[in-house]
Structure 1
């Protein structure tokens, strides 16, 4: 007698949307190398992006130089000629790096320090004369828009504030339903705030910090909408946020080095300021996780962040590893309006990009395994009390589980876990990324537990069982297409009262290898699910000629 019966049909057609770029951008921008130079008030940065022939993209080189341009403005607000010429030499160095990579184009932008300079036109003309680069001067609104775009393309946040603390300005943006509602650029950043309040090499007295926060808060009050949405998360971009995240991770021995998506409560800011402010710059340089060229501006940067957190009444702070250069790159090279419509698109685009960067097995096989895995999940999960997010994790894992074959087929599981834990991909939090990597690389409970030992601080009660169940579903789905021929056209999934899981497949050809694989997995699958899988096959008649 049947206990439960499910039926799922599968289409063998490959999806029309190709991996990576979509729409007109695919034809326009594939197989390019683009250099992006951001002339910031505190740091000048280079990122060299590669767009591959199949539409994937990645950063292949980067550079940085601590410019401190905001500190070099004269009393009259001008950028001295020697500072401009020094900057030109840095740009020429970055240009040589771009030339080495054979970039198809270089895009250079300048932000607050040059925007605020009284001689900005002359400075830009001089830079162009020496370097041959055309430098675009961004407005504060441009900075806010590009920063928000970088966040939207790399995080699944629906509602929240975005703050980008630079050397000479701070941009704040309000997002609702992934759309920009309000934005503003304030003329204070970590460098000019340090200069304004005399935060030099010595410890910063409490009275100076109180005065700075008071004045910053007064400026923030000029935009009432900042205080009108309490409880939203604050997404932070820029060097101040990344530096603080590094310090925080080192202080708690965080098991990941990934800054993108790292979260901390607002109280952590106050604790950090209490630790860092009493130290002189030389002692700050010895703080684990803090780069030496950030030691003199970390305190004013954190004071700005604290003022913004208090003004927004943020519930939590999340670090965004992407920034201005990424936003400009996305806008210029990978236009995609749909990114604003759905946070799910972030994970989808990221999986496509990873799959295109590390092509291993035929895409048709991965899609068949994905369909089979989700079909098994939809049939069996309701009785297993798995969290709703489990389907998203299995979906991602079943499309990436062979990615480690790019390094070595024999140790695919180990390499898959490593790549998914160290590659740049977006749309999942750190814990969810860990669970996905464990599911994708699952080969049994013993190996899984060994891999997860260094990451136990990220795990919660029930995660081992969850990984085992989803990992076995993926193993079974892969066994059902072991010949990589997409032989199964439709599948009936039946749970018998005897706890047998009957998989009745209508196939285009005999599935001898698949039947053997399912039989091999049966014992382990029963340990995880309490069900014994059995595959039965009926071969479809060939189409008439």
Structure 2
């Protein structure tokens, strides 16, 4: 039986509810959510107290969220709060009033906990070993150094995009003098932690609303064809150019920037100033935008306590996608994957560069039937769509497209048509790779056409432009033989050898 859980993230800039579902097959997904740009950090008075108006707004927002939570019949709902409430002088009073009004007991995270949860959400969704993780919030920013996928150092800085905008008002843009002062303040805070300066030439992974906004603005500017900012890579010059354009614009013109949401128009400039200043200070190699963060980390920690951190984000996400779309036989796709691996090993035996091809092929093999969850007829078309729009973590955008095209491959013309709008990402050489691995996957599928996964072992041999496939099986392979003969011509065009199913031996 499926269960649903809610996490409420009470941030300095916005308050969010995310509702997760754990399915009966062991998968999880987000099924609903809501957001309000409450700007609590801007409602902190000179004495450091959250105003009663701010408390009332918080209670009103949480009450609305509780109505939505009630409709989903949640097993548990967890409200967490970060800098705005953590730093408020009347923190206890806020928690008391919220509990009396809504029944929710807010858990206030320390800066260290906030960094740890953010790291967990990121590391479960991106295949990266070493780097800096920067989470720019409304009232605080967390910087974490991780090596070999483990936290080495972290610190929470008492500034964010909202709090700095309160001091360096960017309504009319940001002058050179104001920018220099802002950068000096951020740099001075970084300089207090000597460990930061000891690590250079690492990627800067950026999470939070500022980071996502930067990704969306840049993608809109270049007409980027892939509708996802998670794991989007940017170079220093690209972010610097974007920042210079934004900071010259007054707010009324800035709000017309494509890709920039209306609730971030006023705070985007100080947010990007923090981002670029940290990047320069740590001498990072590139920016990587991460769409997963604090809430995802809380979800994994609280609801998967036995293993909150996944060692392989790609394997984990493949398993989750398969468990979400259960129309295909698990045994069948695993058997097809095994056959595909054997075929690739034979055909590229002496090719040292086959490792990434193996990853693409085996990922596609495990996912090629997920489209049948929508309908069997034209399931390949649905498979392509689902892969492109699923959280296939651990792969770049280009690699996700490669996997989607290989998994849904039927012919060269259909593959070209499907990828026509992705020309910015897929080159002609990569199209040729799709044709080759797509036909190889089709051969692997053909060798279990009956879906009885009855082949126990394979002996593969290339001779005289033929790929001889000697199979030992526990049942008749008549369907398989017919299907192999059907695709043999197309396979030879791509691999230069004609597959021949030979000496099929029954072990019974």
Distance in 2 of aligned mates of 1:274 and 1:367: 51
Pick the aligned partner of 1:279 from 232, 240, 249: 249
Three-state SS of the structure 1 residue aligned to 2:124 is helix
Partner of 1:192: 163
Q: Match for residue 538 of structure 1? A: 504
**2:184 maps to what in 1?**
214
> In structure 1, what is the equivalent of residue 393 of structure 2?
426
Q: Within the alignment, does 1:74 sit opposite 2:41 as a pair?
A: no
Distance in 2, matches of 1:267 and 1:226, equals 22
**C-alpha separation in 1, matches of 2:185 and 2:105:** 37
Aligned counterparts, 1:384-423, within 5 A: 387-423=354-390
Match runs of 1:247-262 below 5 Å: 247-262=217-232
Does 2:415 correspond to 1:445? no
Structure 2 stretches lacking a partner, 5+ long: none
- Aligned to 2:457, the other structure's residue is in SS state strand
> Matched residues in 1 for 2:175 and 2:317: separation?
45
2:131 maps to which residue?
160
| Structure 1 counterpart of 2:315 | 348
Shift, 1:337, TM fit? 4.2
Deviation string 1:129-179 (CA, Å, 9 cap, x unpaired) is 111001000000011000000011111110011000000000010110000
**Cα root mean square deviation, aligned:** 1.3
CA contact (8 A) 1:281 1:296 kept: yes
Q: Is the 8 A contact 2:361 2:406 kept in 1?
A: yes
**1:183 corresponds to 2:154:** yes
Aligned to 2:70: 99
Alignment check: 8 A CA contact 1:351 1:425 kept: yes
Query: Partners in 1 of 2:299 and 2:308 — Cα distance?
Result: 16
The yes-or-no answer on 1:294 pairing with 2:264 is: yes
Structure 1 distance, partners of 2:339, 2:305, is 33
How many angstroms apart in 2 are the aligned matches of 1:339 and 1:132?
31
Aligned partners of 1:93 and 1:71: how far apart in 2?
22
Alpha-carbon offset, residue 373 of structure 1: 0.3
Tell me, what secondary structure is at the counterpart of 1:293? helix
Residue of structure 2 in register with 1:513 after alignment: 479
Match of residue 123 from structure 1: 94
Equivalent pairs, count: 508
Alignment partner, residue 65 of structure 1:
36
**1-side partners of 2:353 and 2:420: how far apart?**
23
Q: Which residue of 2 aligns with 1:263?
A: 233
CA deviation vs aligned residue, 1:109-129 (integer Å, no higher than 9, x gap): 010011111111111111111
- Find the aligned partners of 1:82 and 1:202 in 2 and give their Cα distance: 27
**Shift of the alpha carbon at 1:384?**
6.1
Give structure 1 stretches of 5+ with no counterpart.
1-29
Match status 1:48 vs 2:51: no
Aligned pair 1:503/2:469, yes or no? yes
Distance 1:297 1:142 in 2: 25
| TM-score of the pair, normalised by structure 2 | 0.98
Which region of structure 1 is more displaced relative to structure 2, 379-388 or 93-102?
379-388
Aligned partners of 1:446, 1:330: CA distance in 2, in Å? Answer: 42
Cα distance change of structure 1 residues 541 and 374 upon mapping to structure 2, 3 Å threshold:
closer
Q: Could you say if the C-alpha distance between residues 387 and 210 of structure 1 is closer, same or farther in structure 2, counting changes exceeding 3 Å?
A: farther
Taking structure 1 as reference, are residues 458 and 92 closer, same or farther at Cα in structure 2, changes over 3 Å only? same
Match of 1:21 in 2: none
Partners of 2:504 and 2:316 in 1: how far apart? 37
Query: Could you say which structure has the greater relative contact order, defined with CA pairs below 8 angstroms and 6 or more residues apart?
Result: 1
Corresponding residue SS for 2:460:
strand
Deviation readout 1:346-389 (Å, 9 max, x if unpaired): 11110010001011121111111010000101111135675421
The CA deviation at 1:198 is 3.0
Q: Distance in 2 between matches of 1:387 and 1:243?
A: 36
Aligned to 1:371: 338
| Partner residue of 2:456 out of 489, 494, 503 | 489
Residue of structure 2 in register with 1:529 after alignment = 495
Aligned partners of 2:372, 2:341: CA distance in 1, in Å? 22
Give the CA deviation at 1:73: 0.5
The answer to whether the 8 Å contact 1:405/1:412 transfers is: yes
Q: Distance in 1 between matches of 2:382 and 2:5?
A: 29
Single out whichever of 378-387 and 426-435 deviates more from structure 2.
378-387
Q: Which runs of 4+ in 1 moved over 2 A?
A: 335-340, 382-388, 537-542
Q: Secondary structure at the match of 2:395?
A: coil
Cα 1:182–1:103 change in 2 (3 A) is same
Cα distance in 2 for partners of 1:454, 1:281 equals 33
Structure 1 counterpart SS, 2:172: coil
TM-score, L = length of structure 1: 0.91
Q: Which residue of 2 aligns with 1:148?
A: 119
Aligned to 1:309: 279
Conserved 8 A contact 2:300-2:308: no
8 A Cα contact 1:510 1:537, kept in partner: no
2: CA distance between counterparts of 1:122 and 1:406?
Answer: 50
Matched-pair contact (CA < 8 Å) for 1:507–1:537? no
> Counterparts of 1:125 and 1:506 in 2: how far apart (Å)?
70
Contact kept? 2:412, 2:435, Cα under 8 Å: yes
The CA deviation string for residues 235-270 of structure 1, in whole angstroms up to 9 with x for no partner, is 111000001111000000000110100110112222
Q: CA–CA distance in 2 between the matches of 1:146 and 1:381?
A: 42
